[in-house]
Amino acid sequence: MKNITLLSVNARYTHSNLAILYMRDILAGLNYNISILELTINTDKFKILANIIATNPDIIAISTYIWNAQVVEFLTENLKKLYPEKVLVLGGPEVSYNFEKWENLNFPPDYIIQGAGESGFRRLAESDFALEESIINIPNDNFINKSVPYTREDLDRIKLKYIYYEASRGCPFKCSFCLSSRSDQKLQYKQIDIVIKELTEILKSNPRIIKFVDRSFNANRVFARQVWQFISELEQETKFHFEVHPALLEDQDFEILEKIPPERIQFEIGVQSTNNKTLQAINRNYAFSSFKHKLTRLLNIKNIHTHLDLIAGLPYEDKTSYLNSINDLLELDADVIQLGFLKVLSGTEMHDKAEEYELVYDSETPYQILKNKWLTFEDIVYLHKFEDVFDAFYNSEKFKNTINEFKSCFARPVDLFIGLADCFSNLEEMSSYNLNKKFELFYSFLIETLGTAQENKISDFLSWDWILHSRKNNTPACLDHSQNLAYKNQVFDDLKTEAKQLWIDRLADKAKELKKCAFFVARSKEFSTKILNGKSKAIVFKDYIYF
């Protein structure tokens, strides 16, 4: 019996790979011994190579994506140099549409499987891995008949990682930068009763998160509502992740989502741009104004964590337009706004229009844009610096109260972050800043921009964010900690006197946690009113605030 090793090199430890489990299942009934090997791109390449050989494979099949392509290229060349007799098969989106690159390696793979590869891999295995053609493209059966490939052992192995689930394949939209826009990516759904049955089985392992990989989950509105209704009635803490299109949300959706338990669902929404000319150019046929009110309504459902995505480098969007897109989303007060950069993927319309748009992009994965007709390389460098600053100060949520309070002091919310970005002279400088130093920079920036008359208020909001999101030690020198320390000393002095019982009565069972608490005294009336319900002092516990 021959040995097949199915390898996935994931982007990080918390990820898992659904594709190799489908490949394992498609070989059911054939005479092979199959090993599953999941590692990460952070694993030393030599060790990955050693781990593969330790499984004693006759056939090695590797799932290939833009995030692991460089590792896979190393493995391909060295496996074929060391063990030319072993059959090497590559599959996945990275090799499906630029297979010429992989065929032209000094030591190329034996086979490349294009597209959703279950049927192609089955056919190859049935031939005992002896097909004459090296590029294999065999259409799959209808996805409606595809069972989830997880076994109980799989679920126990990965329950603390992302568990990926497909309720559908394909996408109804034709976004020019996305491989799912291709005509061979037909939209197909499983039956809802099968989905519920499979989810019920997966949930028995109490996974941390189930991430639906469906490209636009709510393209079938009725189907989406049935899944969300099922999730809303669960009595466990598993979180579910969906990619949705806000333009497709209707009143019935909101009625269900408004009742979803907190932290049960998180949404990712690819807005990509708010420039309507840009949206039309990438085949997004919804103007931003047509679904902005639905985004607003969704974001007002505070029990759902929502990420909004933008892409820099799209047609007709220059630096000013991209910053305007960021500002439009900032005004919606999203939880996270992910700023990405165009990746010019083989097989997409964007790749075909590279000359028209004057796209210059990295020839190595992830094929990221360097410039185009609307953005210079210097613009791209600036936007990378802006992204780093934006992630550190906005997406980290460690400065949330300060940002919410002071963003109205700027002409536009985005101008606050433009100002912070201008504090850094280059891309490397930001990476040298620890949390303490970021607080100090934010303090100095606000004082310089808004004036010393706002000093107490600035100090209050930054101190509060520090207490909520740090370990409470090593308070930044710019934040006056003396009153907080005095309040702490007062409380602990009281605990040595007859006043001890008063604190025990006030705090009940929380009194025993006082040594682990942070103590806060406001210096500005505005802070007391907005954050402390008019009180001037607070004791901050891990999950409770006493005013």
Phi, psi of 135, rounded to the nearest 5 degrees: -105, 120
Contact 316, 281 (CB under 8 A): yes
What is the per-residue pLDDT for 428?
Answer: 85
What is the per-residue pLDDT for 472?
Answer: 62
What pLDDT digit, counting tens, does each position of 164-198 carry?
999 998 888 889 999 887 877 778 899 999 999 99
Contact 422, 385 (CB under 8 A): no
- Strands across the sheet with 537-540, in order? 518-521, 537-540, 545-546
Structure tokens at 167: 């309720």
- Specify the DSSP element, H or E, that contains 341: strand 336-341
Q: What is the residue-wise DSSP string for 34-82? A: EEEEEEETTS-HHHHHHHHHHT--SEEEEE--TTTHHHHHHHHHHHHHH
What is the per-residue pLDDT for 116?
Answer: 84
Residues of the chain with pLDDT under 50: none
Burial class of residue 384, CB neighbours in 10 A (0-12, 13-18, 19+): middle
What is the per-residue pLDDT for 285?
Answer: 86
Determine how many CB atoms are found less than 10 A away from the CB of residue 252.
12
d(CA 366, CA 93): 12
Helices (H), 300-426: 319-330, 349-352, 377-390, 400-406, 413-421
| Helices 413-421 + 319-330 axis angle, to 10 | 120
Its pTM stands at 0.92
d(CA 458, CA 402): 8
Cβ partners under 8 Å of residue 477, min gap 6: 440
Rg (CA), the chain: 27
What pLDDT digit, counting tens, does each position of 274-299 carry?
999 999 999 998 899 999 999 999 99
What is the per-residue pLDDT for 140?
Answer: 83
What is the per-residue pLDDT for 425?
Answer: 85
User: For the CA atoms of 530, 531, 537, 542, what is the dihedral angle to 10 degrees?
Assistant: 180
- Please give the C-alpha separations between residue 182 and each of 15, 231, 302, 310, 315, in angstroms, as whole numbers: 26, 31, 36, 21, 19
> How do beta strands 305-312 and 265-272 pair?
parallel
Q: What is the residue-wise DSSP string for 277-296? A: HHHHHTT--S-HHHHHHHHH
